[in-house]
Chains A and B, each alone.
Chain A
Amino acid sequence: MLLVVGSIAFHFLSPWWFTPLASNWGAIDDTITITFWVTGAVFVAINLFMAYSVFRFRNRGENSKPAKYEPENTKLEVWLTVVTAIGVAAMLAPGLYVWNEFVNVPEEAWELEAVGEQWRWTFRLPGKDNKHGTSDPSFVNIDNPLGLNPNDANGQDDLIVMSNIVHIPIDRPVKVLLRSKDVLHDFAVAQFRVKMDLVPGLVSYLWFTPTKLGTYEILCEELCGLAHFTMRGRVVVDTQEDFEAWRDSQMTFAESMQIGPGDPIAGQSLYAVCAACHGPEGEGNVALNSPKLSGQADWYLRRQIGYFKHGIRGAHEDDVYGKQMAPMAAVLADETAIRNVSAYIKTLPEHRGDYSITGDSNRGRNLYVTCGTCHGLNGQGNYALNAPRLNGQEDWYLKRQLKNFRQGIRGKHPFDLFGQQMVSMSQMLRNDTDINDVLAYINTLPPIEPPLTNQVAEATMQGGR
């Protein structure tokens, strides 16, 4: 039985403790420390006592002493009850005190809105008026992804951050308003200690004061569906000046509503460069390692061209073909050019690509259930989930990308917002057989006819902002 005591030693040798604190909530750590030592002492005391009892009073055959007959000892029991009650109160009181601080947000806190949806984070900062406009799920559409009320004057200058990276200034208390578009999520940053669920239908909150510069990960800690474990974001704690510089580069709600669609006619001339490899109708060319572009959604093309241009994709040293694309993307001068060329590609007639991979498509179907959650059961892609279309894409390209994701050649760059999700997800395809099987299944998906009626497909085909 003394082995029991031995295992207590693990406590004192254990290598892991909290990650370093980066907010004002040292009080929480103090409460935990109090609780830890009180309960730890109780744990050790009771177990030592028990081990001693078992050792001392174990049966030693014939000559062992009979047990003592003692139905109860009221005095001892009352005494123990009182001591326990005091111990519990000693842990509860500081707990409630600190909770009170957590519940009541300081007046001077500024408000940041974090919006969760399957499976990403987006943010909204108040504009110059320091006020958030109202919002409602019924306003949500592709051009207004956060569902802001377009008629609310307060909302016009709100800053829309369609990225899972947000910046906040150091040493200023921030109240984070939490809103969900679909299911429950949880906003948790281990270094800040505090966390709170996002509940669709209401706005919850938490507050903290960041005290250390740095970049911290936001994890979703409330099960929110299949890709829960890939729902990550980052919060960057900046100096006030850096924060303001970042803030000024963000788009206001009013500006975001004014961006029109790209101009395909302007895009046509820009496309001439692309046509050399990707083909005049974007049909792709396996010999040149150029994927098919026609049929792909323009929002996805825009993002990827942007990534190539800014060294987010095609920067990894092992990404041989991505490195070829990067300088080509740099030819496009600015965001408008990217928009225009993407708009042009959208007008290209689609050619069904060539398939060469053989695999067990029945097994692939089971594997694809997970993929289909985001990319659509027909591989049609989904703007809301940032998932490109897979249907009709040539399999040699998909295979190479899957391998790149798996090996972290693609998607690992800190500014590749959704690449990390795919890196995590692609871990489920462990080997070439898995990849071939799932691609064999994707190859069997029926072609998508351009005029689709349902909204998801529309979103995919027309593309968003």
Chain B
Amino acid sequence: MITIIIFIFAAVGISYWWLLRQRVLEKPWLTEGTGVDRREDLASESPTAKTGLIVFLAVVTSMFSLFISAYFMRMELNDWRPLDEPGLLWFNTLLLILGSLSIHKCARSAANQDANGVKVTLLATGIFTGAFVAGQLIAWQQLNEAGYALRSNPANAFFYLFTGIHGLHLLGGLWVWSRTSIRVLAGVELEQIKLSVELCRNYWHFLLVVWIVIFALLLST
């Protein structure tokens, strides 16, 4: 449970730090008027959707931390037989990095009002990410053929579980991506697209980090 404990400490720590910045130490009955509300002075106020996404990502992080905790605890039991990760995963990782890079580029294009750039990079994101998901499926097939069945060993089960859950999250991302793409193709103004693209970018980067953590974990054990 160490992983989740670390995560929880981090989450609680960040919350407390944020609360301190909200001046939870002051005595609210001594201050009257609207002057104490300094939010309008803080230029860093982020759009609601972004805050929502951050909260959501915290939830997802919590879930993956728990899976990883369970992984470590299950690993200590004596029937654990590590599996050989197929080399294809390296290629898939590259695909996901490319997807993440292109959505990053896309967000920048959107900020620069570069409509063409947005279309190209958005398409590239979809292709790379779709290829990643397909690649993961092929990796499953390879493993299965190599005799690493889901039920034969917990290490295998965890492999399928991790990649499956991660893939599901990517599919969720692709759904948002497709909605955004449709709006781009329909010629909606870039200013309205910008937020969606930025949200996608954050989400892709997050899932890339999650994948790298999982992949490193799978490789190292």
Contacts and interface: CB of A to CB of B under 8 A. Distances in A.
A345 to B, nearest CB: 43
Interface residues of A, number: 3
Contacts of A72: 27
Interface string B59-86: 0000000000000000001000000000
A61 interface: no
Interface in A61-99: 71-72
Nearest to B27: A71
A435 to B, nearest CB: 44
B196 to A, nearest CB: 46
B59 to A, nearest CB: 30
Interface in B1-56: 27, 29
A398 B29 CA distance: 78
A72 B29 CA distance: 10
Nearest to A201: B77
Nearest to A69: B29
A71 B29 CA distance: 7
A201 B154 CA distance: 15
A283 B77 CA distance: 53
Contacts of A71: 27, 29
Nearest to A71: B29
A56 to B, nearest CB: 25
A72 B26 CA distance: 12
Interface of A is mostly: loop
A288 to B, nearest CB: 55
Chief secondary structure at chain B's binding surface: loop
Contacts of B77: 201
A71 B28 CA distance: 9
A75 to B, nearest CB: 15
A101 B29 CA distance: 51
Category for how many chain B residues contact A: under 10
B156 to A, nearest CB: 19
Nearest to B28: A71
Contacts of A201: 77
B103 to A, nearest CB: 45
A190 B152 CA distance: 42
A201 B27 CA distance: 55
A71 to B, nearest CB: 5
A380 B177 CA distance: 59
Interface in A39-79: 71-72
B78 to A, nearest CB: 10
A228 B131 CA distance: 52
B8 to A, nearest CB: 23
Nearest to B30: A71
A71 B26 CA distance: 12
A297 B99 CA distance: 67
B167 to A, nearest CB: 31
A72 B77 CA distance: 53
Contacts of B29: 71
A19 B77 CA distance: 40
A249 to B, nearest CB: 38
Nearest to B29: A71
Interface string A168-204: 0000000000000000000000000000000001000
A97 B77 CA distance: 31
A71 B27 CA distance: 9
Interface in B110-151: none
Nearest to B77: A201
A71 B77 CA distance: 55
A72 B30 CA distance: 12
Nearest to A72: B27
A103 to B, nearest CB: 20
A72 B28 CA distance: 11
Interface string A410-439: 000000000000000000000000000000
A201 B78 CA distance: 11
A18 to B, nearest CB: 35
A248 B77 CA distance: 38
Interface in A188-238: 201
A202 B29 CA distance: 58
A423 B198 CA distance: 69
A147 B87 CA distance: 43
Interface string A104-119: 0000000000000000
B215 to A, nearest CB: 30
A78 to B, nearest CB: 15
A204 to B, nearest CB: 15
Contacts of B27: 71-72
A350 to B, nearest CB: 40
A67 to B, nearest CB: 14
Interface in B149-180: none
A72 B27 CA distance: 9
B66 to A, nearest CB: 21
4 contacts: A71-B27, A71-B29, A72-B27, A201-B77
Per CB-CB distance, the 4 closest pairs between chain A and chain B, nearest first, are A71-B29, A71-B27, A72-B27, A201-B77
